[in-house]
Chain A
Amino acid sequence: MEMNQKLKEKFEEFCKSHNLTGQKKAQLKKKLMQILKKVAVEPGTAIGVLSAQSISEPATQMTMRSYTLASQTTALAKVTHGLPRMIEIFDARKTFERSMIIYLKPKYNNKNYAKKFAEKIKEKKVKDSLASSSIDLLNMQLEFIFAEKINFDTFKEIVKNYMKDGKITRKGQTVYIKPDDAEIKNLRSLKFKLLDAKVGGIKNILSVAVKKEKNDWIITAEGSNLKAILELEEVDVNRTKTNDIYEVESVLGIEAARNLILEQARETLRDQGLSVDIRHLLLIADTMTFDGKVSSIGRYGVAGHKASVLARANFEETVKHLVNASFRGERDNLNSTIENVMIGKVAPVGTGFVKLVIDADKLKGKK
């Protein structure tokens, strides 16, 4: 066993300040190693169960608090807190309230620029600048009336992305769109597509707010688009963050996703005033990213992809797993804990983890 870096540094520091050298230092090191060996996790400890309990017990405290808190926070910002957020993280959900915190480079770090920048990245859709939109059934065309002045040419380009052939004409603030294959069904679908079409800004950045935090002007955004934001010249790549684990996985890689799971889980727990030892969360974050992709703790992730048939059947969807296993002729080597508990064998945990072999020669006194 070796000392880790943090401990090593502390040890050296201690020796320096107490003028320990040579033999005394070696003695202290020996003593320290003995203690280290004692406090280390023993081989065969069921650390998964330990982690699960250590996180779940404080989480039961969370349930009661978060529901009363939810009504107060919704008015300020749409961010999930407490147990619901915890479940989102560990289930690796794909739909949840996304949010981003954007930092700007020092050069652009002032109130005016931050406000300008925030306005620039906010997604603008066609419907945001419309006064009314309707379908003119008599002439089989769409009628868009704009509330503000628009750039007709750019709007024309946007329409062309959704419509193959047709005529676009303008009369003051009103724009008429007449596709060649005009049918009521087509017109309706075209109308809804156009209303949702992006005019400017960055996709999925729904609302923005600028606030000051210590020396920085930061932009908090509802919705998330990490790749597009990081590509912007003004953005500080180092500190800008999102709460979308999948997005981080695809843009920054699996190690970053692992760090984000850890950070998010800790933050959620800390917000509730709970302290869980970081080692439990480390284990979960590492398990969730073991395969090189983010997988949830549960039926469709870690628990559903165990090697052992019996372990899977024990968790959820018993019949499905047993039937499928018999179809494929799967084998269960009974290597893990739960299978052995099921069939009544000694489980490979703790003392069951080691096997004893008799040295026959020694027994006979030959050695």
Chain B
Amino acid sequence: MAKKEINIFENYLVPKHEIMTEEEKQQLLKKFNISLKQLPRIKERDPAVKAIGAKKGDIIKIERKSETAGVAYYYRVVV
């Protein structure tokens, strides 16, 4: 059987993942008045993290399609 490489972002379950720059990161932490430890986490070995090449300590901005808000942004820190 012919095999192909999976692009996980094609699947309807996977939202858009984006690495935040250092500047955006500081802005976010300041806006919500929190430290990195308080953010929701995402594993370094997560397929989506591997696909976009994020490293430990990066914050990933996730663009979720939301039924209640249209588009909702969610943030996860790579651990």
Query: Could you tell me which A residues sit within 8 Å of B by CB distance?
Result: 4-9, 120, 227, 230-233, 237-241, 248, 250-256, 259-260, 263, 278-279, 282, 286, 289-293
Interface residues of B in 65-79 (CB under 8 A from A): 66-72, 74, 76, 79
**CB distance B47 to A250 under 8 Å?**
yes
Residues A252 and B2 in contact, CB atoms below 8 Å apart: no
Inter-subunit contact A255/B11 (CB<8 Å): no
Residues of chain B with a CB closer than 8 A to A255's CB? 13-15, 17, 42, 48, 62, 64, 74, 76
Q: Using a Cβ–Cβ cut-off of 8 Å, how many residues does chain B contribute to the interface with A?
A: 35
Q: Is the CB of A238 within 8 A of B68?
A: no
Out of A4, A240, A293, which one reaches B11, CB within 8 Å? A240
Decide if B34 is an interface residue (CB 8 Å cutoff).
no
Contacts of B3 in A (CB 8 A): 231-233
CB-based contact A5/B70 at 8 Å:
yes
Q: Given A8-B70, A255-B64, A278-B67, list of 4 further CB < 8 A pairs?
A: A231-B4, A252-B13, A255-B62, A259-B14
- Taking Cβ atoms with an 8 Å cutoff, the residues of B that contact A are 1-8, 10-15, 17, 40-43, 46-49, 62, 64, 66-72, 74, 76, 79
- Nearest residue in B to A251 (C-beta to C-beta)? B47
User: Is the CB–CB distance between B10 and A292 below 8 Å?
Assistant: no
**Chain B nearest CB: distance from A253 CB in Å?**
4
Q: Taking each of B4, B11, B64, B74, which has the highest tally of chain A beta carbons within 10 Å of its own beta carbon?
A: B11
Chain B CB within 10 Å — which of A248, A255, A290, A291 has the most?
Answer: A255
Closest to A259 in B: B13
Instruction: Pick from B48, B64, B70, B71: contact of A253, CB below 8 A.
Output: B48
Q: A120-B1, A279-B68 are in contact. Are A252 and B41 (CB under 8 A)?
A: no
